[in-house]
Amino acid sequence: MKDSSGDEVNSANCKSIYYRKPASEDLTGVIDAQYQAFSHKESHSLIEGIVESFSGRCLSKPSVMRRADNKILQAYLAQRVGFIIPDLVITNDNLAISALEEHKAIVKPLSIGSVSYDNKKEYVQTNEYNLNINNDSLKYSPAYFQKYISKDYEVRATFVSEQVFSVKIESENKIDWRKKNNNVSYEIFELPEDIYNKCLKFMSENNINFGCFDFIINQGTWYFLEMNANGQWAWLEFETGMIISKAIVDYLNDE
């Protein structure tokens, strides 16, 4: 295949592949608008096919990441490896949410959590669940409801194989530190051995060698929130000086 610069890429000459987030080329003015989505899908299908059939080292194959990022599977595996998780309900049934009504709860999307319209894209993040809103539309779009756990701080642990880069995150927003206009501080943090070993077991269950784990800590208790198999990490290098990129390169260069 050829890339956007016209250079030829042959997977037979590749030692390893880093599959991050391939971007669709801007085809405005190149081909008619009604064919652009089709062209993008065809290109992505080719790229995914090359990665899936590649026999060398890869971070990480799309099929592996899709499975690992499934939040229902994550909740099951988290309990299986011994993590503590907040009480949760994953449902499209209004009545099922009643189990959480006596507690403060949060709601988050099951999938990537983005909505596109009028050439715009908005991201759906974790929010406090409002018991007074009309949930009739829930039957068409299930959601992930979770008991709210107050946090002393959060920890993001980025794993590259068995190497971990752990960061303590403190923020003004007690629901989701990714919210805009939120003061956030970062501090390199040593992951407890017990949590480290459970993360490795979780990754082994998913057959992955890269993952970003999110935890909240309340009075010394660690609660597993989720693991992102293709999570953001570069901003942590900038904030903390940890060289995650070198660990990725070293992993991909390893025989």
Tally of CB atoms within 10 A around 6: 6
> Higher model confidence: residue 110 or residue 188?
188
Same domain, 45 and 115: no
Domain presence at residue 35: yes
Mean pLDDT, the chain, integer: 86
If asked whether residues 165 and 217 sit together in one domain, one would say yes
C-alpha distance from residue 159 to each of 177, 199, 247, 252 (Å): 20, 8, 9, 14
For the residues 238-242, what does the mean pLDDT come to?
95
Same domain for 75 and 97? no
Q: How far apart are CA 104 and CA 102, in angstroms?
A: 7
Per-residue pLDDT tens for 92-132?
Answer: 887 777 766 666 888 888 877 677 777 777 777 777 777 66
Contact present, 102 and 111 (Cβ < 8 Å): no
Give domain status of residue 64, yes or no.
Answer: no
Domain carrying residue 53? 11-59
Flag whether pLDDT at 240 surpasses 60: yes
Using an 8 Å Cβ cutoff, are 148 and 223 in contact?
Answer: no
Lowest pLDDT segment from 47-56, 131-140, 161-170, 227-236: 131-140
Model pLDDT, residue 91 = 85
Compute the distance between CA of residue 178 and CA of residue 154 in angstroms, rounded to an integer: 12
CATH number of the domain within which 206 lies: 3.30.470.20
Q: Which helix (H) or strand (E) holds 201?
A: helix 193-206
C-alpha triplet 185, 113, 252: angle, nearest 5°: 65
202 and 187 co-located in one domain? yes
